[in-house]
Structure 1
Amino acid sequence: MTAQAEETDRAAFAQDWERWHAEKEKALAGPHGFLAITGLHWLDATPTRFPDAPGAWSSTDEGVVVELSDDEELTLDGQVLRGRHSFGVIEERVSLYPTAGDAAIEVAKRGGYDILRPRHPENGLRLAFTGTPAYAPDPRWARAGRYVPFDEPRPTTVGAAVEGLQHVYDAPGQVEFDLDGTTHRLTAFNGHAPGSLLVLLTDATSGVTTYAANRAVSIDAPDADGNVLVDFNRASNLPCAYTDLATCPLPPAENRLTVAIEAGEKIPTAPVEKTRSVPARATGPEATGTVPDGETP
């Protein structure tokens, strides 16, 4: 390859990365993105009102219930909700988004607990957001790898950004890649697209230039020979890097690398103090299902 061709390839690589990063930032800072969340409310059997959502909310045998007063209403899928409304039993990692004015009131289940996370476009964290710093994209960090499936998916328990919460995900296999003559192996979880994978990891940059708790790399489905591309330029922060109102999973122990992956997103400019924990009153099973990316945590 000529020097000019190599320079052209690097420029195209950088442009592709810039498009990816811009789309990720747009979703994060959207009117109802994670930066718009104003509260993480753990529901129990007692109907409770919260300052950032209409109605009194509870977690019951029939699922999440809201009791709206005469001057309150929500809208869900075009239907106006008034009075008492049951959302039914919400499955793990599922969210519903009824709206109230310009706010979206996320109703979800995380870690076996029913939660409420209102999202207000005027939230100060969203309005103050100026973008996520990142390493300059470098083709060196787009590593050819190999997918090694397990004979059967392995249930894998990981911690969470919320103290006292655990997630359990089925790991279909591992991803191997070589770096500076050493082979590294990462446990992979199922991604959102069919056949795709996602790895959660920390490395020697974690807590130094990159977010301490975790980063995530999405990987396209392996080809027929198990070949994959592990592009660490797209190692991205999960929402817990920006807000203490997320329930993000932590990497399994084997995904805590000792090498420095100097690629991908860095520590946000203004990280939030982390004071999360599951309320003592909350009880429920561990979370199971597909590992989150994008909007789920």
Structure 2
Amino acid sequence: MSSRSVPDAPAHTPSDTHTAPEAGTRTATGTGAPGTPDPAAFAAEWEDWHRTKDARLASEHGFLAITGLHWLSEEPQRFPGVPGAWSTGPDGVTVALDEGTELVVDGAAVRGRYGFGVIPEREGVDAVWGDTVIEVARRGGHDVVRPRHPDHPLRVDFAGTPAYTPDPRWVVTGRYEAFAEPRPTTVGASVEGLRHVYDAPGRVVFRLDGRELSLTAFNGHTPGTFTVLFTDATSGVTTYAANRNLRVEAPGPDGEVVLDFNRATNLPCAYTDFATCPLPPAENRLPLAIEAGEKIPHERRPVTP
């Protein structure tokens, strides 16, 4: 059982942990510090964060560059935009390259038949082919190949992610409650029939609009941080229906945490069908509207005739 962080979620830049005020109160800034916010500074900090987040998503070989999600089997298969014939088995993923074709793996050129070995769940290896990066990964117990082409129209035409106007009232403090033992938690995925299993180390409890609420937390990309997947009353209306993602910094000594819903983001499945993003645990469906954070991407909105 793995306690790795959530897959198909863009990495975040870690920031300093700040001391939060009394649990359940709303704070003035994105850092959880008390006092009257400076609206201009608050908005500028959020804009800088959001610009950086979108730039990472649309980087040369980011998620918007993926052109296919190919599931491997024991039978060798060829895929568009990928050289060679690919298969998997007890010894892991193998590619048989055509004569004169080479990939670069871990800085070394490989030719002919090459074995990537057994790839651990939620991990992957990148193989470079010209200006294309071929991700070889394992998701939900299956080996996959995902080519990333920098000239993919989804990436080239990306104009940024729409979002609610940042508002300090959506910065909430709460407390982290660790479970006696991490709880294996099975969730669905954006790919039908796929399942992900995580060890949930605890939950975050907070108050919002007079209600006490809680969210099961998974481990984040940085040790000590958490990833919270949730939906709410905006899901499928103004925000992406399947899931919303919120990073929570490591708790303070007394267990206090800050939830800045202005920084609730879309996972890659909100933009592309070539992602295997997990869905939130059933208990993470909030019964109120969190009108903060990212909205449904332009790429997923219906086309008006």
Pair in the same fold by TM > 0.5 = yes
Q: Residues 1-297 of structure 1 correspond to what in structure 2 (within 5 A)?
A: 6=36, 9-271=38-300
| 1:126-161, Cα deviation, whole Å (9 max, x unpaired) | 111111000011111010110011100000111000
SS at match of 1:157: strand
- The code of the aligned residue for 1:33 comes to G
Structure 1 residue runs of 5 or longer lacking an equivalent are 274-297
2:27 corresponds to which residue?
none
| 1:19-46, Cα deviation, whole Å (9 max, x unpaired) | 2111110111111011100110000001
SS at match of 2:166: coil
Contact 1:244-1:272 at 8 Å conserved across structures: no
Instruction: Summarize the Cα distance change of 1:272–1:166 in structure 2 as closer, same or farther, 3 Å threshold.
Output: farther
Over aligned residue pairs, what C-alpha RMSD do you find?
1.2
Q: CA deviation at 1:15?
A: 1.6
1:280 corresponds to which residue?
none
Q: CA deviation at 1:6?
A: 3.8
- The code of the aligned residue for 1:198 comes to T
Q: Distance in 1 between matches of 2:248 and 2:36?
A: 24
Contact 1:189-1:199 at 8 Å conserved across structures: yes
SS at match of 1:54: coil
Q: Distance in 2 between matches of 1:115 and 1:225?
A: 42
Q: Distance in 2 between matches of 1:63 and 1:109?
A: 10
Q: Distance in 2 between matches of 1:124 and 1:166?
A: 29
- The code of the aligned residue for 1:246 comes to A
- The code of the aligned residue for 2:260 comes to D
Structure 2 residue runs of 5 or longer lacking an equivalent are 1-34
**4+ residue runs over 6 A deviation:** none
| 1:248-293, Cα deviation, whole Å (9 max, x unpaired) | 00001110011000000000012189xxxxxxxxxxxxxxxxxxxx
1:290 corresponds to which residue?
none
SS at match of 1:143: strand
Contact 1:222-1:228 at 8 Å conserved across structures: yes
Deviates more, 1:116-125 or 1:69-78: 69-78
Q: Distance in 2 between matches of 1:178 and 1:11?
A: 26
Contact 1:243-1:272 at 8 Å conserved across structures: no
2:5 corresponds to which residue?
none
- The code of the aligned residue for 1:221 comes to A
Identity fraction in percent: 64
Q: CA deviation at 1:10?
A: 2.3
SS at match of 1:204: coil
Q: Distance in 1 between matches of 2:53 and 2:298?
A: 16
Q: CA deviation at 1:18?
A: 1.2
| 1:220-254, Cα deviation, whole Å (9 max, x unpaired) | 00111000001100100000000000000000111
| 1:32-82, Cα deviation, whole Å (9 max, x unpaired) | 011100110000001111111011100021110011111211001210010
Q: CA deviation at 1:205?
A: 0.3
Contact 1:242-1:272 at 8 Å conserved across structures: no
Superposition TM-score, scaled by structure 2 size? 0.86
